[in-house]
Amino acid sequence: MNFKRVVVTGGAGFIGANYVHYALSAHPDWQIVVLDKLTYAGNLENLESVMNRIEFIQGDIANPVDARKALRGADAVLNFAAESHVDRSLLDPGAFVRTNVEGTLVLLEAARQEGVKRFLQVSTDEVYGDLHGTDHHSLETDPFRPRSPYSASKAGAEHLVFAHGISHGLDVVVTRGSNTYGPYQYPEKIIPLFITNALEDKPLPLYGDGSAVRDYMHAYDHASGIDLVLHRGGSGEAYNLGAREQISGVQVADAILAALGKPPSLKQFVTDRPGHDYRYSVDPAKAEALGWVRRYAFSEGLSETIRWYLQNRAWWQRVRAKKEHQSLMQTWYEGR
Ligand code: NAD
Ligand code: TYD
């Protein structure tokens, strides 16, 4: 499929910004419109180097006026915009339903009204729920068993996306990506939180015994997978995107501390996350069969990411100095 004018919602966030950078180099002729509300996680610095090559609209996907304005004349929309952090969804689930569920519905309606050719929903492997105690790798045909307000809201959004495909003939595709890391990631998810804490000689808080496992994938690979599914994915289909990695929290902490030359004593085992999912793992064979080839193994991707945080201290120091970050650190971690 060919596209000319493409809307990227949430393009000022972590994976959205990585996608915008990827798309501008893969499709230099594209007109890219970024629609982003600029919540605590949105940061225009992530797009600074390409601002003159894109159109930026500050707006809310859950606001029909903003959604229709952004989608006017567009061929495709990629919906990255979301509340994305599990711990925050335990503190304030309403925001997750508003953006992830209602916002996706408003965007679907706007896509239908504006005659957008293709709608790509950026979803997550967390919709499958916890695979702890099995050696199963989730398949696209597996049932949804979301267990956190975040994953429940993303599962709800997916149901609406597929329903719009069936009920209204909208051309929809869905990606279910695994845990992602790389440049521009807000320092609340484990990898950027641990890198920046370590750089400040602060403890690395491991939930429970730190044995929970994730399939960490570099943001470049997540972006290339999404782009491939946009172009080659079958209408009404979902595609898992993962790196075929199984890495525990303790392994993440050890790798970061070793790379930065910091002592293992910075590891601190803290009260577990309520409802903690102990294992996610997807089988990405369906996306690989479309021709998806990943660039990064974890060790190489992590070293490059650590280098990025070392070279971009001002970026994360500004983010960490803001009240939204400090209040998460206090409310969530203090006394844990
Ligand atoms: P992020 O939190 O870094 O960024 C989210 C972006 O969306 C921000 O720029 C924010 O300002 C914007 N946004 C939030 N609410 C909005 C609204 N109502 N209207 C417009 N913009 C809004 O998130 P991320 O980690 O980059 O995740 C992007 C997408 O990928 C999400 O849909 C998430 O569910 C999915 N995903 C993330 C991961 C991961 O590991 N981070 C893995 C798989 C899937
Ligand atoms: P996170 O990055 O929040 O992603 P998700 O929960 O959406 O998978 O967490 C990844 C893993 O790291 C998960 O098992 C929880 C664990 N974790 C910690 O041990 N300490 C932390 O401070 C955070 C944020 C996560």
Q: How far away, in angstroms, is 229 Cα from ligand 2 center?
A: 27
Spatial separation of the C-alpha atoms in residues 313 and 303, rounded to whole Å: 16
Say if ligand 2 is within 6 A of residue 256 CB: no
Q: Tell me how far CA of residue 256 lies from CA of 120, 266, 321, in angstroms.
A: 34, 11, 22
What is the DSSP annotation of 62-102? Answer: TSHHHHHHHHTT-SEEEE--S---HHHHHH-HHHHIIIIII
Say if ligand 2 is within 6 A of residue 96 CB: no
At 261, which amino acid appears?
A: G
Q: Which residue in this structure is represented by tokens 């919602």?
A: 9
Looking at residue 105, its pLDDT comes to 98
Beta carbons of 237 and 186 less than 8 angstroms apart: no
Task: Name the residue with the closest Cα to ligand 2, atom 13.
Answer: 212
At 241, which amino acid appears?
A: L
Say if ligand 2 is within 6 A of residue 206 CB: yes
Please tell me the pTM assigned to this model.
Answer: 0.99
Looking at residue 177, its pLDDT comes to 99
Looking at residue 227, its pLDDT comes to 98
Please state the domain extents for the chain.
Answer: 5-177+219-241, 181-214+245-274+297-325
Closest CA to 152 of 190, 81, 97, 98: 97
Closest CA to 324 of 148, 88, 89, 150: 88
Say if ligand 2 is within 6 A of residue 294 CB: no
Q: How far away, in angstroms, is 193 Cα from ligand 1 center?
A: 17
Looking at residue 291, its pLDDT comes to 98
Q: Which residues of the chain have pLDDT under 70?
A: none
Say if ligand 2 is within 6 A of residue 205 CB: yes
Exactly one of 66, 83, 125, 245 is catalytic; name it.
125
Q: Tell me how far CA of residue 64 lies from CA of 71, 256, 280, in angstroms.
A: 10, 43, 34
CATH 3.90.25.10, domain 181-214+245-274+297-325, yes or no: yes
Task: Name the residue with the closest Cα to ligand 2, atom 25.
Answer: 190
Among 90, 147, 151, 214, which is best to mutate for testing ligand 2, by the most ligand atoms less than 8 A from CB?
A: 214
Question: C-alpha angle 57/59/63, rounded to 5°?
Answer: 135
Looking at residue 101, its pLDDT comes to 99
300-332: pLDDT as tens digits: 999 999 999 999 999 999 999 999 999 999 999
Looking at residue 298, its pLDDT comes to 98
Looking at residue 270, its pLDDT comes to 98
Q: Which residue in this structure is represented by tokens 């750089």?
A: 199
Q: How far away, in angstroms, is 138 Cα from ligand 2 center?
A: 19
Q: Give the domain 5-177+219-241 fold.
A: Rossmann fold (3.40.50)
Closest ligand 1 atom number to CA of residue 184: 3
Looking at residue 206, its pLDDT comes to 98
Task: Name the residue with the closest Cα to ligand 2, atom 7.
Answer: 86
Beta carbons of 188 and 328 less than 8 angstroms apart: yes
Looking at residue 133, its pLDDT comes to 96
